[in-house]
């Protein structure tokens, strides 16, 4: 009788363990689907936001065509992609350069990106924040010893490390920039 009871208990535990594993697997797939949907929505919102930003920028240029990018930088810093930075390095030669290692699947990174895109006025005057893809820029990650996303790396004009930090609060992260 005791052997039957033990066998029943073992069978019940096995069923619960297998059921829990199946449930966890389906939850993980659901979370991944939701993350992919969020990422897609975020990309669409960014594109829509970029179009609005472009239109506003054109209006601003019409109002004051004498206002240069240097004049804008005098009011606050800038937030650019690595591709834009690499294509126009001369435009940023007199600024403090900070790589922001961003991953589209990272919730902290997504929040930082949305806030910075919406309000570059938070960036210290004279600083250029360079949005750098954590997943694809492995060479830069290795060069600066970056091991996880939402890491900031400040470099000098020669690309030498000045300061490196990871932060989950944007205001604190931006306060660490040495301008």
Domain parsing of the chain, residue ranges: 1-67, 68-175
CA separation, residue 63 to residues 51, 77, 119 (Å):
19, 21, 20
CATH number for the domain whose boundaries are 68-175: 3.40.30.10
Using CA atoms, how far residue 28 sits from 16, 24, 110, 142, 153, in Å, is 18, 6, 20, 30, 32
CA 122 from centroid of its chain's CA atoms? 16
Would you state the torsion angle of the CA atoms of residues 124, 125, 130, 134, taken in this order, to the nearest 10 degrees? -10
pLDDT for position 4: 74
pLDDT attached to residue 75? 57
pLDDT along the chain (179 residues), means of 10: 71 62 54 50 49 51 42 69 94 94 95 93 94 96 95 95 95 93
How many CB atoms within 10 Å of residue 78? 20
**How far apart are the C-alpha atoms of 10 and 75, rounded to whole Å?**
69
Q: Tally Cβ neighbours within 10 Å of residue 70.
A: 10
């Amino acid at each position: 009788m005791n052997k039957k009871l033990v066998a029943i208990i073992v069978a019940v535990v096995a069923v619960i363990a297998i059921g829990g594993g199946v449930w966890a697997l389906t939850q993980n797939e659901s979370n991944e689907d939701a993350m992919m949907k969020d990422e897609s929505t975020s990309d669409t919102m960014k594109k829509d936001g970029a179009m609005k930003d472009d239109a506003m920028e054109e209006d601003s240029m019409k109002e004051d065509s004498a206002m240069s990018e240097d004049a804008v930088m005098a009011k606050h810093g800038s937030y650019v992609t690595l591709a834009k930075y690499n294509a126009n390095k001369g435009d940023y030669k007199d600024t403090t350069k900070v790589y922001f290692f961003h991953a589209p699947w990272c919730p902290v990174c997504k929040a930082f990106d949305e806030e910075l895109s919406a309000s570059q006025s938070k960036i210290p005057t004279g600083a250029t924040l360079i949005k750098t893809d954590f997943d694809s820029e492995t060479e830069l990650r290795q060069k600066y010893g970056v091991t996880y996303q939402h890491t900031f790396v400040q470099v000098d004009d020669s690309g030498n490390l000045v300061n490196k930090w990871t932060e989950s609060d944007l205001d604190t992260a931006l306060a660490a920039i040495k301008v």
